[in-house]
Structures are given as structure tokens and as C-alpha cells.
Chain A
């Protein structure tokens, strides 16, 4: 009857390792091994903290027959002696399991052990669970006294403290349950309230969540549901696979209204059994309180001996009731809707600037509350500052964004000489203290160069007429009368194009002109070079011919015809070289003129050409007669004297 389950969980960083189930020899061995492992890995486990004991009820106002969970939690110890049973008339209380938890944060290890009891109210009334003695080593501690108000009737959760559990058909309620846990019953409009949606399934039903969970209702907003945390819990003497979805609710309207219900749909596997046949099989050991258990079936003892059927199971919780109050009317002027509990840190950079230069003021609001509706802190005194709208960044510490820090970056520029960034002011409503709180930072000292110093006398003496503070070369203060813009233009002016000049086709067309000019210049130069080259080749050939002929004239015994022909040819070639003309067009007069010869030389030249012609055309030179030495020398002297 009194089946017990034991559980142990270890949390390292954000990871939680949990082992639950009935304690077998294997489990005990495993537990011992695991404990040893922890001891080896974490020699700095600090159990030195003073043990404390707490006891909580899952519901303090149940109805008759509705099972309530009692948890006795011992912090700072890994074992304790607790009573097996608690005897109270009208309540049936059994211990159902133990769970141990080790948490390691940066090698700082803490442990706790939780003893779970189930309470079955047998009758209505006001019950007190007296303090229970818990023995930890040599120390004895006592739990606080707990009160249980059991109402008449069944299935109704009544006004439980923000918790609404299922009220569905009996079988479904045993297979699965949905529960909406809202942290508060009374809240202020806009306040962020943590909430949990718990869906529990009998692990033997191999449940699979098909839809949801969905939280219905009007007049509030919810944060997006996070991935659920999954653990095995014993509720009412039965084990449930519980999926816990965390969220936060922010009421948007005043008054009392319902939140929820939570609805979900799951597929479960149920044993198929004839509905008419009487129940003859033995009761399940899970059926702690002799309740009807659909798993008290041979199918679950021997899954292969029978057939299960898949069934779609709708799950629905009871709605939770929330009473939403308005915020008090005496809100500070800079209150912008932040509700919670916050702290503020402020810094400004750079510390040394010129008048008009931007300074980034970073303010960090940390704590718990409705960060999504929060505006940044404002300057206590904005006079002499040019202020720009801030940007913000939120870093959440939890799953639902209630806890974290929001950093606002505001750029301000001094319009005049200043000695400090004025204090930043941030107001919020504290729902615990139920009043407004205004945070005020210290002024951040800075050094502003340039511009005129502020006139402190004006600020200090409000009765003095407010004369404008002189500023030199700076943007006028926002409070100053704005300048007026200049006049209208009466002339429409010339149409222009936004297209840059290099993207217009006309620009590239215009480049054709210098391109053609350049190509023309290059072509002309190349042609000229070619011409020069041809002339040079011709001159070189003529020069070579002249040299060759002169050599022949000097050494060879030539016939008179050949001699004078070659000599006249040398004259023609030399004249052609000097005057850049065709050698064949050269006669004696041309040559004489080209070399500017005297009369005697001119006569010699004429004689040379006449003799050459005479010998060539008369044929008299074909005899054996040769040119005399003197005659040859005279011709050679004449030829060598031909220089331009």
C-alpha cells in the first residue's frame, strides 16, 4: 500500500540530472556510486551551511477527496530523519518519496533533500498540521505549522492560491492533468507576474503532447512559452511526468478577471478492456488510496499480453482568478510605466569633449519587472544639452524576461560649457512596497572645452530674470527661440541632374574628342618615323655606293669609260645625299650649285660629266688606253672636295 519512490537530482551549472524511482539494489548501488563520484569531482562541496527546514502545501484550500502535496525540504543536508506518517484526524497522510538535489555553481556546491507526502482530505474542516520534528545528524529542527482548509464537494479547486488544477473526467484526471500556477492573486495593471503551466501525464500512458498548451482569456498579455522543464513527480501517490512551461502574465485592464483555462491535447495509450466485465484483477500498487486506476490492468504488468489503444485526450485546467488594481495616482513626472524592483548604474563617455560634441550616457537598469514597457531614465536637468533618443538592449537572466538588465545608451551634446552630466532620474512602481520609487544617479563629472561657461548665478537665483546664457559658435539650446529659415528663391534656375557626370552618356561621348586627337597624333608620329626611316636607308645606301666607287677609283686600273662613269656617279650620289634628291636627276650645274663650287672646279666638273657622256655614248673608251695618273689624281681631288 505504502509504495515509496526515491529520487535524486544533481544540478551542475544549468544542467540538472535527476534519478527517480523505486529504490532497488541496483539503484542504491548507483546512488552510492554517484555520491562517491560527486565527492571525488567536487571536493569543495560545502555542506557547512546551517541546515534549514521548510514545509509547503501545494494547495491550502482543497476539497474533500482532492489530493494535496506536502513537501518538507531540508536545505544544507543530504539526509534527515523525518516522520514516515503524520496522523491527523480527517486527513490521510503518507510519505511518497524523497528527492535529493545537488547544485554546483562555480564549484560552490549545495544540497537539499525533499520529503514528499500526499494528503487525502477525508472530510471538510479546518486542519492544522503541527510542526514536525526533522532530525539532521545531532541537530533537531521543526517544520512550521501548516493550515489546511478543506471544503465540502469534489473536483473544484475553489479559490486556491493562484493554482488552478484540472476538473475533467475521472479517468482523464488520473491519466493527465493541467495546472495553471499564477504567482499572485492581486496585481497592478502592467505588472509582470510569473506563471507556470504544468501538464502532468501518467508515464505508463506513453503520452505525447499534440496541441498546446494554450492560455486563453482576455485582459492580459503573456510572454512566449519557453521550452518545458520535464521531471517526474509523485502527486496523490501517483507518479506523473510533469512538463512545466514558464511564462509571465501582464494584466492590461483593471478589475477581477479569470486567466485561463489552460488547454492542451495529448495522445495517450490506454488498455483495452471490456467495459461490462467486472474488475477482477488485483489493484495497481500505484492506486495508493484505492482510487480507480485505469492502469490497474494486466496490460501494464505484461504489455505483450494485451492490446492498448491510442486515445486523444483533451486536458484543461481551471482558470485562475486575478484581481488587478490601478496604479496609485501620485506618479512622479518621469514615471513611464516601469513596475518591479530595480537598481540603476550610470556612466558617461568620453569625459572630455568640445562644446557640441556627443557624449554617450549609458544607464543600466537591473532587477525584476516589466522590462518590455520600460523607458530609459531621463536627465534631471536638460538645460544646455542637446538630447537624442536613446537606444536600448535587454539581457534577461531568466526564461521569461522578468529578471535581467536593460542598458540604455543616450547621446547628449553640451550646448555650453559644463562641468558634469546631470543626474539621471528613473521612477518605477514597487508592487511590494506599493509606492513609487525614484532612483537618482550621481552627476558624472566631465570637462567641456570651448564655449562660454554657464552662468550659475542665473540658475541659482530663480527670481532673477532669465537672461540667455551666451554661447560662442554653438548650436542654440533647445529651449532657445528657434531661428527662422531663409527666404524663398524667385528664380527657378537651371535644371541639373542627380546623376554624377561620369555616369552620363554625354561624358563618355566627349571622351572621343581627346581620344581621336591622341590617336591622330600617334598616327602622324608613326608615319613620320616611317618616312624618316626610309630616307635614312636610302641615304645609307647612297653613302655606301659613294664610298665603294671612290675606293674603285683609287686603286683599280679601270678603263677610261668606267673611270669617268664611276666618277660622275660619285658626284651624282654626293649631290643627292647633300640635297636629298634623286641622283639620276643631278647634272654638273646642279652639283656645282649644291656644293657651291668655284669657277675652276665648276669647269672641272663640267669636263668630267662631258667626258663621261662622251666615253659612254661614243664608245671611244673601249680601247686599251687607260687614264693617266695625273688625270686620275685631279679627278679624285675634285671628288673629295665635294662636301656640303
Chain B
């Protein structure tokens, strides 16, 4: 009996899998057609539905950003381009369009620190993988050095080199995860949002942020977020006026 049920499930899965896998692609194509026909609102709805279903692909966010751009919603356009770049930092089309959208929106960008600039040649995942590989090479080298029949100079040199690379890579991972494009990166989606000194609408203003401006979320208190601003100051903003890039 159990075998029968298992077999039935396997057959159903085999039959339905191509259909299920093809559904997002079909919806993506439909949204692209709506975009090409100038129906940006419908295209946005379809792209957003794909996002909600977990189809986090760079191209989906890129196309969604384009649709928002066409609707002159530069805040959301930049947000989605940034999401595409968070998934694929070398997405050339997203890099180009985000620049155009920023110019259009007069959006402010966070100032990269020296450390951000130092490690910008690779992304967080690449540094993480490098750190892992270096760590294991270092450990194996130490093991060979300790348990080898002879004290190998090559082993000790390799272990020192590998562990140095490991330390630098871990620092890079930490810096990139806490830096300008780190996990706190958010994009202002409201128009000319005011960053204030305190969590009150009448508190003194720190900076007015055009839509699409970059901010770094430091903490959240109720409906307010405490953010790092492009002018290197910090201020409070309504939480609903910005969205985090990494979902």
C-alpha cells in the first residue's frame, strides 16, 4: 500500500514538475509583454507577484525596477535595481540603470568608507568562500607540519599564508556586511523624506532625502527607524518611508 502511495506521488511530481517550473517563466514573459505594451501597472503587479512567490532572481528585480522607472517611481526603481545588484553585483544592466535612475531622482548616496573601497573588488560571498578555503588549507598545512615525518617549511609557510588570507577575508566579510552595501542598506521610497533628530514629526530636521536615496538602518523603534544618512549624520525616519534592499 505504502509503495503504491509513494509511486503515485512520484508520478504526480514528475508530471507536474515541468508545469510548475514553467509557471514563473510564463508569468515573467507575460509581465514582459505587458511592459512592452506600455501597461506598466499590470507588469509591476505580475513582477511583484513573482517576487512574493520567492522568485528572487536578479533579472526579475531588474525588470521590476525598469517598470517602476517608467512610472516615474524612482524610489522603488532604485530599490529594485539595488536588489538585483545585491543578488548579482556584476549585473551590468542594473548597474547602468541605477545610475540613470539616481540622476533622475537626484538621489543621495551613502559615502563609502575607506574600508568599503578597499574591499569593493569582491562581494561578501566571494570573501566568505575565500575565507573558508583559506581556513581549511591553513588547518591542513598545520596538520601536515605537526604530523609529517619531517618538519616541512612549505607546510608552515602555506599555513601562515592561508591563515593570513583567512583573517583578511573575515575582516572583509564583516566590513561588507556592516558597510555601505551591507545588510542595513535601505532605499528611501517616499518623496523628500525628512530625517529628524527625534522620533517626532515636529523634531528638528537633519536632512531631506529625495526618493531613491541610500540610508543605512541602525535600529528600529516602533514606527521609526534610526538611520545613517548620506551626509554622515544620523537621524530618525518613519519606518514606512524606506525599504531594506536585502529582503
Contacts and interface: CB of A to CB of B under 8 A. Distances in A.
B87 A485 contact: no
Interface string B62-90: 11001001000000000000010011100
Interface of B: 24-25, 28-29, 32, 35-36, 50, 54-60, 62-63, 66, 69, 83, 86-88, 93, 96-97, 100-101, 103-104, 106, 108, 124-125, 128-129, 132, 136, 139-140, 143, 147, 173, 177, 183, 192, 204-210, 231, 246-247
21 contacts: A391-B206, A411-B231, A475-B103, A485-B66, A486-B66, A488-B36, A488-B63, A489-B59, A491-B59, A492-B24, A493-B57, A495-B54, A495-B57, A496-B87, A498-B86, A498-B246, A498-B247, A500-B173, A507-B128, A522-B143, A526-B147
A526 to B, nearest CB: 7
Interface stretch (A42-50, A176-184, A381-389, A582-590): A381-389
Contacts of A486: 66, 93, 96-97
Contacts of A499: 246
B88 A485 contact: no
Given A483-B100, A487-B93, A488-B66, A495 B206 contact: no
A493 B97 contact: no
How many A residues touch the partner, as a band? 35 or more
A496 B147 contact: no
A581 B102 CA distance: 82
A388 B25 contact: no
Given A500-B173, A521-B143, 4 more contacts: A389-B209, A392-B205, A490-B32, A495-B54
A373 interface: no
B25 A488 contact: no
A476 interface: yes
Contacts of B204: 393-394
Contact of A500 (B97, B108, B177): B177
A494 interface: yes
A614 B209 CA distance: 110
Contacts of B173: 500, 502
A394 B205 CA distance: 10
B60 A493 contact: yes
Contacts of B59: 489, 491-493
Contacts of A478: 106
Interface string A493-511: 1111111111000010001
List the 7 closest pairs (A to B, CB-CB), nearest first. A525-B147, A489-B59, A389-B208, A493-B57, A498-B246, A493-B59, A514-B136
Contact of A497 (B56, B62, B66, B97): B56
A482 B100 contact: yes
A501 B177 CA distance: 12
Interface string A356-387: 00000000000000000000000000000011
Contacts of B86: 498
Nearest to B103: A475
A184 to B, nearest CB: 26
A217 B218 CA distance: 44
A3 interface: no
B60 A492 contact: yes
A489 B63 contact: yes
A485 B40 CA distance: 14
A498 B125 CA distance: 10
Contacts of B62: 489
Nearest to A387: B106
A518 interface: yes
A378 to B, nearest CB: 14
Contacts of A411: 231
Given A389-B208, A485-B69, A518 B136 contact: yes
A388 B106 contact: yes
A494 B136 contact: no
B55 A495 contact: yes
Nearest to B69: A485
A476 B102 CA distance: 12
B184 to A, nearest CB: 13
Contacts of A522: 143, 147
Contact of A492 (B35, B55, B124, B139): B55
A24 B177 CA distance: 78
Contacts of A518: 136, 139-140, 143
